[in-house]
A and B are shown apart, each in its own frame.
Chain A
Amino acid sequence: MNYTNLFKIALRAIAANKTRSFLTALGIIIGIASVITMLAVGQGTKQSIQANIAEMGSNMIMISPGADMRGGVRQEASSMETLKMSDYEAIKDECQYIKAISPMVSSSGQFIYGNENTPSTIYGVNQDYLEIRQIDVADGEIFTDAEIKTSAKVCILGQTVVDNLFPDGSDPIGKVVRFNSIPFRVIGVLKKKGYNSMGMDQDDLVLAPYTSVMKRILAQTYLNGIQCSAVTEGVTDKATEEICNILRRTHKLKDATETTEADEDDFTIRSQEELASMMNSTTDMLTILLGCVAGISLVVGGIGIMNIMYVSVTERTREIGLRMSVGARGIDILNQFLIEAVLLSVSGGLIGVALGIGASFSIKAFAHWPIAIQLWTIIMSFAVCTFTGVFFGWYPAKKAAQLDPIEALRYE
């Protein structure tokens, strides 16, 4: 049997019954479109939740000087002078798992502007600090490298400080505030971040170049801490380990030998493990949820396709009998139905993909839900629905092809 003829036969059969063909394809169209749309909304939600958690700084690593014992009394960590700028530079140069790093020095005191004043903390940092802490500048701008180099007396205020120093709502940028007795020019205001989960006001801070705070306020050469963020949450552990090795080397701490114990770390590295594990469990849960949604949609879509294919072949039993009586062999019948099923499934599949993507974007446009269409969802839904369509077009057709033509002709 040549395939051009079979192709023609199949096309004629599709064209002769447009309603049935459309309904058959519709099963596949709806199956695919709904899976793609559901997964797009699901993936979008997942990504936006992930982004929200990441915004809390789940990949943040904090290095602080270790608390030493003096005469049996554990000292406060910030009193230690073990973290130097050279440590910061070594980590910055050598550690490959971090994407942002900032030295940190801090001092608490009273900020004064005109007749208003407020207690707050000034943090000496570099520009990376914004990325590490996931904070943004709302107005004005962050200080420049040149301002760090020259220990410029510039600062960026948090919203709480702004509210307290400028209760009349005037623009703080360009104004000069004093920290104790040292004047700082305000060059920016941070975006409001609110309270964190521990109830601490995250807007009650002032940022300044670390050089300015070290030289002009504290007159110290050591750092109170180093903060950095790992490339992703997943490599936080590796980054921590690497930083530990670098610091042990720069601090000349001895490793354990046969006769002596290893020197104790004179620094502490902390990461946001709680946040990271929350992130992982949330992501896992969302993945399972999405898997269920996709699975159920595919099963429902598949059953719909299966039914309509099965019914459409069954209702054509007489036609099959007729075709056999005029000389179609079983294989011709099977091939015809297979070609029909492939044509309907593939064209329905393509329409379904277009419709699914269209529906996802309309949801984004009208309901403002986050969506994310991933290639694998398109490929998977297309493959599963098309395969179901072809299989359930083929299977009853195979049974029909094995039918006795007498039986098929007599079928009511």
Chain B
Amino acid sequence: MADDNKKVVIELQDVKREFLVGDETVHALRGVSFKIYEGEFVTIMGKSGSGKSTLLNQLGCLDTPTKGEYYLDGVSVRKMSKPQRAVLRNRKIGFIFQNYNLLPKTTSVENVELPLMYNTGISAKERRERAIAALQAVGLGDRLYHRSNQMSGGQMQRVAIARALVNNPAVILADEATGNLDTRTSFEILVLFQKLHAQGRTIIFVTHNPDIANYSSRNIMLRDGHVISDEYNKNIMSAAEGLSALPANTDE
């Protein structure tokens, strides 16, 4: 399924990341290499300590490798300064966090507008239009002006997904995006991810929950800073079916 004609969005070449903790050097990543092509839905799995958080920070341009090269959309990240990486994140990456990280007491539409606020090329009018379009795309067209404290976890995560979509990023990075949600809501969010995947979005989903790998197109396993397996999922399960198979209102 690896199609060489497809555009490479992410390319890691022997990426190493070391931290100095006291006098000890901790090797979080011991040489990781892979390519992710446009339109893939990749899950990155591993136990805690496997280096998956470090890898996510690398992929998200929040951090730079100690050794090795990282190309995001063809651009080398390793030598970039902090402000340059901030601009790169603004244009190329959409983050989704486990705990949503919405601005408190702020409306959905303003939360979604946030990445565009840091992009001066976009007018206030266009910003608002794109934020509304993104919220409609995640099924929150009727909750544009609800504040973040008036919404359920699932709704907040949808706002966060809309925020990740609004800048039309090259890649969406999700960090345990269903970790705080109950089973039903998790399925709803997975349905949304599969829908985005179907629309051709590139998604990287970091998780320790092995079930999620069933719904992605590719699964990368990490252990002790190495990639131990990298497999294409030949039998992608439908999250929508999983959702309908659930008994109604399981948690109530």
- Give A contacts to B, CB under 8 Å: 1-2, 5, 8-9, 12-13, 16-17, 318-319, 321-332, 404-406, 409
Closest to B105 in A: A16
| Chain B: minimal CB distance from A319 (Å) | 6
Q: Using a CB-CB cutoff of 8 Å, which residues 32-49 of chain B contact chain A?
A: none
Query: Is A1 within 8 A of B120, CB to CB?
Result: yes
Cα-based distance from A406 to B87 in the complex (angstroms): 16
Q: Which residues of A contact B62 (CB under 8 A)?
A: 325, 404-406
43-70 of chain B: CB within 8 A of chain A: 57, 60, 62-63
A5-B120, A16-B104, A326-B115 given; 16 more Cβ-contact pairs under 8 Å: A2-B120, A9-B117, A12-B106, A16-B103, A319-B103, A321-B101, A324-B86, A326-B90, A326-B163, A328-B90, A329-B86, A331-B83, A332-B118, A404-B62, A405-B62, A406-B63
Q: Is the CB of B106 within 8 A of A409?
A: no
Residue of B nearest to A408 (CB): B62
> Which 9 pairs of residues, A with B, have the shortest CB-CB distance?
A327-B90, A326-B115, A329-B83, A329-B86, A327-B118, A322-B101, A16-B105, A2-B120, A16-B106
In the assembled complex, which residues on chain B have CB atoms less than 8 Å from the CB atom of A325? 60, 62, 89, 95, 101
B115 proximity list for chain A (CB < 8 A): 326-327
Q: State the CA gap A85–B80 with chains docked (Å).
A: 95
**Chain A proximity of B6: nearest CB distance (Å):** 26
Interface size class on chain B is: 20 to 34
Q: Are B82 and A5 in contact (CB under 8 A)?
A: no
Whether B95 contacts A329 by the Cβ 8 Å rule is: no
* B97 neighbours in A (Cβ, 8 Å): 322, 409
If the complex has contacts A2-B120, A8-B117, A9-B117, are A326 and B105 also in contact, measured as CB distance less than 8 A? no
A329 and B87 contacting across the interface, CB-CB below 8 Å: yes
Contact of B118 among A1, A16, A17 (CB under 8 A): A1
Q: Is the CB of B91 within 8 A of A327?
A: yes
| Chain A nearest CB, measured from B176 CB (Å) | 13
- Specify which of B105, B120, B163 is in contact with A17 (CB 8 Å cutoff): B105
Confirm or deny: B11 has a beta carbon within 8 angstroms of a beta carbon on chain A.
Answer: no
Chain B residue nearest in CB terms to A325: B95
Given the contacts A325-B60, A329-B86, A330-B82, A5 and B117 also touching, CB distance less than 8 Å: yes
Q: Are B114 and A326 in contact (CB under 8 A)?
A: yes
A1→B83 CA distance, assembly (Å): 11
Residue ID in chain A nearest B60 by CB atoms: A325
CB distance from B193 to the nearest CB of A (A): 19
In the bound assembly, the distance between CA atoms of A319 and B101 in angstroms comes to: 7
Chain B residue numbers with a CB within 8 Å of A321 are 101
A326–B169 Cα gap in the complex (Å)?
Answer: 11
Query: Do A326 and B95 have beta carbons less than 8 Å apart?
Result: yes
**Least Cβ–Cβ distance between B83 and chain A, in angstroms:** 4
- Shortest Cβ distance from A8 into B: residue: B117
Q: Shortest CB–CB separation between residue B65 and chain A, in angstroms?
A: 14
Chain A residues near B209: list those with CB within 8 A.
Answer: none
Chain B neighbourhood of A2, CB < 8 A: 120
Which of B86, B91, B101 is A409 in contact with, Cβ under 8 Å? Answer: B101
A-B contact pairs, 16 of them (CB 8 A): A1-B118, A2-B120, A5-B117, A5-B120, A12-B106, A12-B110, A16-B103, A16-B105, A325-B62, A325-B101, A327-B87, A327-B119, A329-B86, A332-B86, A332-B118, A404-B63
| Known pairs A1-B118, A406-B57; A327 contacts B103 (CB<8 A) | no
Whether A329 contacts B106 in the complex (CB less than 8 A), given A5-B120, A322-B101, A406-B57, comes out as no
Cross-chain contact B63 with A329 (CB below 8 angstroms): no
Closest beta carbon of chain B to A322's beta carbon, Å? 5
User: What is the CA–CA distance of A318 and B87 in the complex, to the nearest angstrom?
Assistant: 19
Tell me the nearest residue of chain B to A3, going by C-beta.
Answer: B120
Q: How far is the CA of A321 from the CA of B167 in the complex (A)?
A: 18
Residues on B with beta carbons closer than 8 Å to the beta carbon of A331: 83
Residues of chain B contacted by A328 (CB below 8 angstroms): 86, 90, 118
Q: Mark B107-125 against chain A: 1 for CB-CB distance below 8 A, else 0.
A: 0001000110111100000
